[in-house]
């Protein structure tokens, strides 16, 4: 079996490449800039830009399975090329946001939903099996707080009581490894969560406990927060985040045991993720 791993610069994909290589599964690291990759020894690299269909053919040649990031621009073209290349299974890194009633209109969920639909249509036509991994909140989102915490200020939060289910990127990669290598797990959609529903304030307490450094925060209005991110975050995305944070302020989110079901071990707690990335929060 040969597995094409797209977006190999990402944390989940890079971890997955290591897991595949350690298990003796032939893997191919795909990226729009493969020269910048550092995959395990013996793992080939290939240019695979999900925004450029001209790169799909060579990347998919001889591939049996694909780990795919949710880039919607040319999802139907990718599905068609995968079918023509004889791909048997595509595992999509989607998002649990696709389950929201307004997913098609939500700019955060819409791209994931569009790729899910494109792959599902191909699967229904008999092209290949498709499996959707739907993680909730990535623990790596906390890295957005790191610059402020290193400076001793802490993040400015419009809804500090918002709950999330932070999941370690290694748990997502191990779930992907499981569905790629166990044929009985193919063809389903899996909602992945961390083991705890934690408010932003609770996550900051854990950061402080693990790193041994203060992890303060300030409270700002939604309007102030939008103004602070206007230079790098489109307004529609900012509004979607604020809406989500408001809806989950003070409300724990549902948790699943899917990581344990797929990997055989419980999902790693947020404290374990912080310990693995403690250096990011220290000067």
Q: What is the CATH number of the domain that holds 37?
A: 3.40.50.720
Which pairs count as long-range contacts for 96-105, CB under 8 Å and 24+ apart, including other chains?
96/134, 96/135, 96/136, 96/191, 96/192, 96/193, 98/134, 99/134, 99/191
Within a domain: 172: no
Q: Per mean pLDDT, which range of 20-24, 105-109, 193-197 is the poorest?
A: 105-109
Same domain, 232 and 120: no
Residue 182, domain member (yes or no) = no
Q: Given phi > 0 = left and psi -120 to 50 = alpha, else beta, which region is 86?
A: left
Q: Give per-residue pLDDT as tens, 8-55.
A: 999 999 999 999 999 999 999 999 999 989 999 989 999 999 999 999
Model confidence band, residue 95 (pLDDT cutoffs 50, 70, 90): very high
Q: Are 88 and 64 in contact (CB under 8 A)?
A: yes
**188 in any annotated domain:** no
195 close to 266: Cβ distance less than 8 angstroms: yes
**Is there a domain that residue 116 lies in?**
yes
117 and 22 both lie in a single domain: yes
Distance CA(232)–CA(172), nearest Å, equals 27
Statement to judge: residues 9 and 119 lie in one domain: yes
Per the structure, the complete domain to which residue 71 belongs is given by 2-135
Are 106 and 240 in contact, with CB atoms under 8 Å apart? yes
Same domain, 248 and 148: yes
**pLDDT (mean) for 63-79:** 97
Same domain, 116 and 142: no
Same domain for 8 and 76, yes or no, is yes
- 198/50 Cα distance (integer angstroms): 34
Whether residue 74 is found in the same domain as residue 209: no
Residue ranges of the alpha helices (H) in the chain?
11-22, 56-60, 75-84, 107-124, 146-150, 169-181, 200-211, 222-229, 235-247, 258-263, 270-276
Can you list the pairs that 94-99 forms with residues at least 24 positions away whose Cβ atoms lie under 8 Å?
94/70, 94/132, 94/133, 94/134, 94/189, 95/70, 95/134, 95/135, 95/136, 96/134, 96/135, 96/136, 96/191, 96/192, 96/193, 98/134, 99/134, 99/191
Domain co-membership, 9 together with 66: yes
Is 20 part of any domain? yes
Q: Is residue 130 part of a domain?
A: yes
Question: CA geometry: angle at 108 spanning 29 and 226, to 5°?
Answer: 120
144 in the same domain as 72: no
Is 233 found in the same domain as 143? yes
Q: Does 143 lie in the same domain as 112?
A: no
pTM of the predicted protein model: 0.96
d(CA 245, CA 90): 32
Do the domain assignments include residue 179? Answer: no
**20 and 110 housed in the same domain:** yes
pLDDT at 42: 86
pLDDT at 138 over 90: yes
Indicate whether 175 belongs to any domain.
no
- When divided into structural domains, the chain yields a total of 2
From 111, 135, 159, the end of a domain falls on 135
Boundary-marking domain end, from 113, 135, 157: 135
């Amino acid at each position: 079996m040969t597995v094409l791993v797209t977006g190999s610069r990402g944390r989940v994909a890079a971890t997955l490449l290591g897991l595949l290589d350690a298990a003796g599964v032939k893997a191919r690291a795909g990226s729009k800039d493969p020269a910048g990759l550092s995959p395990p020894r013996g793992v080939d690299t290939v240019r695979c830009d999900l925004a450029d269909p001209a790169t799909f053919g060579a990347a998919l040649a001889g591939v049996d399975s694909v780990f795919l990031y949710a880039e919607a621009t040319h999802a139907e073209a990718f599905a068609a090329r995968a079918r023509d290349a004889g791909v048997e299974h595509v595992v999509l890194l989607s998002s649990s946001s696709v389950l929201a009633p307004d997913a098609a209109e939500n700019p955060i969920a819409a791209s994931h939903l569009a790729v899910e639909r494109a792959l599902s249509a191909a699967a229904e036509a008999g092209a290949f099996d498709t499996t959707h991994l739907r993680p909730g909140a990535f623990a790596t989102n906390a890295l957005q707080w790191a610059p402020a915490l290193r400076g001793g200020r802490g993040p400015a939060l419009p809804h500090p009581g918002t709950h999330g289910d932070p999941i370690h990127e290694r748990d997502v990669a191990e779930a992907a490894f499981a569905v790629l290598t166990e044929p009985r797990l193919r063809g389903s959609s899996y909602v992945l969560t961390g083991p705890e529903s934690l408010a932003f304030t609770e996550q900051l307490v854990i950061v402080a406990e693990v790193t041994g450094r203060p992890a303060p925060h300030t409270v700002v209005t939604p309007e102030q927060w939008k103004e602070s991110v206007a230079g790098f975050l489109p307004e529609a995305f900012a509004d979607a985040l604020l809406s989500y944070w408001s809806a989950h302020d003070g409300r724990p989110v549902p948790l699943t045991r899917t990581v344990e079901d797929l990997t055989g071990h419980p999902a790693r707690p947020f404290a374990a993720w912080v310990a693995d990335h403690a250096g990011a929060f220290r000067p």
